[in-house]
Structure 1
Amino acid sequence: MKPFVRTLAALALSASLPVAAHAHKAWLLPSSTVLSGKEDLAITVDAAASNDLFYFDHRPLRLESLAVTGPDGAVVKVENASTGKYRSSFDVPLKQAGTYRIALINEGVFARYKEDGKEKRWRGPAAKLAEEIPPSATDLVVTENVRRIETFVTSGSPGGAALKPVGTGLELEPVTQPNDLVSGSEAEFRLLLDGKPAPGVKVEIVRGGIRYRNQLGETTVTTDDSGVFKYTWPEPGMYWLEANVTDDKATIKDAKERRAGYAATLEVLPE
């Protein structure tokens, strides 16, 4: 191999390593997060899992578990929903002033077992576990999975009932309004697990645009005894944060372990 070609190959490999070292990230990306006006407002949201954050390079997120909550706490019906090879997308009409919560809530189980001495795996809804696992299965290990993927959008003045905690799984309770984030300013959030503060949880924060960065530039913060974490945004842009908790609070029969996950996309505005 010629020296110039070797150099290019080495550069390509080094650029790919930080991304390859991280699992696929699942996210919702709104076309806008802060809007003003009185009538006919709407946004488009993309939903995908990818290697490169906010780029469509792996698979779409399915929309069966999509839930949009309006400022009055009522369910908002989305429009023009579609799923392609690399992303799903939908429109959210913003007919009321206030803050909207847009979420994908995935609940299910993951099972490992042996059949005829061979390792098998199955993933799906808890209701289908009994019929999908053969009676001859041995060494069955069942894990309950609860994951919430969110973003927030505000039309006009922020506020309303959409930010009220649900009380199940891992979720974010904003102390700082999630659509009032400014570069150079500190934001404060609380993580809740089943409606109670979640202390000692590590939260990974990554700024978008990693596709052309040699380093992801991720930051990890840890919630305090009251479940609170704080972060000062270094610059404007779209950010992704993720947290995961594993415990023995499974509610599904035969499940010995529960994995609760949370991810959110937040926009930080210039000073």
Structure 2
Amino acid sequence: MWKIICASLALLLCAVTQAEAHFGMIIPATATVTEKKDADLKLDISFSHPMEMQGMDMAAPKAFTVTLNGKTEDLRASLKPAAIMGRKAWQAAFKIQKPGVYQFAVEPAPYFEPAEDCYIIHYAKTIVAAFGDEEGWDEALGLKTEIVPLTRPFGNYAGNVFQGRVLLDGKPVPGAEVEVESYNKTRGHVPPNDYFVTQVVKADENGVFSYGVPWAGWWGFAALNTAKEKITREGQDKPVELGAVLWLEFAAPQTR
């Protein structure tokens, strides 16, 4: 009987740990385009546990946009169904035709998480710099919630410290909790235990957080808040977790 209880508790703890590690994901083929051969950009869009490489089915996004020089373009028509981490996801192609800083953003359909008895909406974005331009990387997009970088979000090495400001309805969020995970695509990083899967930092009174990136690859930063509004499900009002998610690439220096 005691073994059954222990096993049940272990399964419950596992479920809770996994539920805390959801990340909306938008991963371009590269974060910096310097040659024409790289201008045909492919973007993978999913909802996943990136460090554990566990995917979840993602419904068609409500919005998918790119913003350049203050002008936003609707890219939903470019979305194609795909399988990422073995689950339903999306891919898109975008051709970069001129220098600029391109901010891609995704608003998903609300996702109901039974383990937390709530809906999850992660506004995910990533930033691609092209052909030498680096103006406008610190401009907010006006999303419901987002992370505005205070460190230039491209051309960074592993080991750099990244800083960002968490916004909700355009205002900084004092003390926001930010979850951080690596996209463990090659499965080359094995956490010592479950505590190491998701890193957690707190923003200061101005909504600013800092994180030192330990190794090269794509890293996701997810600032979580609870929406004032609720979503009705089967006659009951359910809370809504809002996530401001930013995906950035950190590189290892090349050697001769």
Q: 2:244 aligns with which of 232, 237, 262?
A: 262
- 1:49, CA displacement in angstroms? 2.1
- 1:21 matched residue in structure 2: 17
Q: Which runs of 5+ in 2 are unaligned?
A: 1-9
- 2:217 matched residue in structure 1: 237
* Distance in 2, Cα, partners of 1:256 & 1:20: 18
Matches within 5 A, 1:174-185: 174-185=149-160
- 1:204 matched residue in structure 2: 179
Contact 1:78 1:92 in 2 (8 A): no
Deviation string 1:217-248 (CA, Å, 9 cap, x unpaired) is 4321110011111111112111122121125x
* Distance in 2, Cα, partners of 1:18 & 1:257: 22
Say if 1:70 and 1:79 are closer, same or farther in 2 by CA, change over 3 A: farther
Indicate yes or no: 2:63 matched with 1:65.
Answer: yes
- 1:138 matched residue in structure 2: none
TM-score (norm 2): 0.71
Matched residue type, 1:96: K
Matches within 5 A, 1:104-123: 104-106=106-108
* Distance in 1, Cα, partners of 2:133 & 2:179: 26
Say if 1:255 and 1:156 are closer, same or farther in 2 by CA, change over 3 A: farther
* Distance in 2, Cα, partners of 1:79 & 1:250: 29
Say if 1:207 and 1:259 are closer, same or farther in 2 by CA, change over 3 A: closer
- 2:92 matched residue in structure 1: 90
Say if 1:157 and 1:260 are closer, same or farther in 2 by CA, change over 3 A: same
* Distance in 1, Cα, partners of 2:231 & 2:55: 34
- 1:174, CA displacement in angstroms? 0.9
Q: Which runs of 5+ in 1 are unaligned?
A: 1-13, 111-120, 122-142
Contact 1:146 1:169 in 2 (8 A): no
* Distance in 2, Cα, partners of 1:96 & 1:202: 37
Deviation string 1:139-190 (CA, Å, 9 cap, x unpaired) is xxxx886530111111123434575223442211111111132222222111
TM-score (norm 1): 0.68
Q: How many residues align?
A: 225
* Distance in 2, Cα, partners of 1:76 & 1:163: 21
| RMSD of Structure 2 on Structure 1 (CA) | 3.7
- 1:63, CA displacement in angstroms? 3.6
Matches within 5 A, 1:1-271: 21-23=17-19, 24-37=22-35, 41-53=39-51, 55=53, 57-60=55-58, 62-75=60-73, 77=75, 81-85=79-83, 86=87, 87-106=89-108, 146-161=121-136, 163-209=138-184, 211=187, 213-215=190-192, 216-246=196-226, 249-250=228-229, 259-271=241-253
* Distance in 2, Cα, partners of 1:62 & 1:184: 35
* Distance in 1, Cα, partners of 2:14 & 2:237: 34
Matched residue type, 1:169: K
Aligned-residue sequence identity (percent) comes to 22
* Distance in 1, Cα, partners of 2:59 & 2:238: 27
Contact 1:79 1:92 in 2 (8 A): no
